[in-house]
Amino acid sequence: MYLGISNIDGGGSKDVTITEAPGGAVPTGSVDPGSAEGPSVQEVYNQDGPGVVTVEVASREVGPGGGSGFVIDKQGHVVTNQHVVDGADSVSVAFASGAREEARVVGEDPSTDLAVLQVDAPKQTLKPLTLGDSEALGVGDPVIAIGNPLNVGISVTTGIVSGVGRPIKAPNNYTINGAVQTDAAINPGNSGGPLLDARGTVVGVNSQIFSETGGFQGVGFAVPVNTVKGVVEQLIETGRVEHGFIGVSMFQVGIGELAAYSGRDAAKLSDELGLPENGAIVSKTTRGGPADEAGLKGGEGREEDVAGLPVPIGDVITEVRGEPVSTPDDVIEVVNSLKPGDDLPLTVVTPGEEPRDVTVRLGVQPPE
């Protein structure tokens, strides 16, 4: 569930400087908010709160709405979620000081659910946040979320990192890899606000919650800041982001997971279906796409019932760049790390045949 609010009441400079925390810092988890070694939650809020904004949007189709965002430089660039500004006819930003400025959308990237805005605001109003390192996070590390939940005003909540490296679905149905899972309370309106480590550096952009009720149930997700850095740089420079694309749809789980679900070991399932014991099953290839051109085949027209699941018997990707594949996410993560024109070596098994090595040259990811 995305966290923008809808139906609530009531070309920029490329000469930018984004502040990043220095490398080689003490790991995040070694400092707790309020401990002798680090700032208190109140100190983090006082430090970073002035750089967190409310994003207000208006749309003829869905009416007023909004979310949160944060300032990243003195040139007035603000990061938020793409789904917050999607389809907006006008956008404005409200600062903690009470100042409100009209904003223009510099660029949007639905594949990572990120957008960059720019406001023409006085330098003293702009309080840039420092970008940290999401790769340094570990499960159990303390985190702090700041945003405008339910349009009540800029608020702060705390929690821990509940999981790292989570795949989540982007607004255009592609996959965002490496998301940070947290139990810090985030609700509709928090979208686009920062998730901070104990020192107050940004480690993610709050984006989604898993909820069966529409309210927060202790499972929230943030786009990792290491993804944010590269996307924001491209959006500021060109207004868009090009992602790599191989043109395959894969069965939702890997062969090992499928075997476990069916109550059989991988070797037995392999014998029955002619599949290798590990890998991601290709269910469909995009006609004329990179994988199709490289000779990969999907399982269209051939399915087998496995414990009540219709499983397409297509080619299986067993290795990516020489590393074994356990799940489709292993393939997606590597593809997301590459750019159009890069070559991707794969090991592929057609059911009942021997493994073969193929090289796929990535194309440009289509909008959906």
Domains in the chain, CATH or no CATH each: 37-238 (2.40.10.120), 244-364 (2.30.42.10)
233 burial level (CB within 10 Å; 0-12, 13-18, 19+): middle
The whole-number pLDDT of residue 215 equals 66
| Residue numbers annotated as active site | 83, 113, 191
Contact 257, 306 (CB under 8 A): no
Helix (H, G, I), strand (E, B) or coil at 146: strand
C-alpha–C-alpha distance, residues 286 and 97, integer Å: 50
For tokens 């340094």, the residue is: 136
Confidence (pTM): 0.83
Comparing C-alpha atoms, which of 56, 212, 179 is closest to residue 113? 179
Helix (H, G, I), strand (E, B) or coil at 318: strand
Maximum Cα–Cα distance across the chain: 68
Q: Which two tokens stand for residue 209?
A: 């919650």
The whole-number pLDDT of residue 301 equals 82
CA angle 361–280–297, rounded 5-degree value: 55
Reading the chain (368 residues) residue by residue, the pLDDT tens digits are 555 544 333 334 344 556 666 554 444 444 566 555 678 999 999 999 999 999 999 988 877 889 999 999 999 999 999 999 999 999 999 998 899 999 999 999 999 999 999 999 999 999 999 999 999 999 999 999 999 998 899 999 999 999 999 999 999 999 999 999 999 999 889 999 999 999 999 999 999 988 776 667 789 999 999 999 999 999 999 999 999 999 999 999 999 999 999 998 888 888 888 899 999 999 999 999 999 999 999 998 889 999 889 999 999 999 999 999 999 999 999 999 999 999 999 999 999 999 999 999 999 999 87
Residues facing 64 on adjacent strands: 58
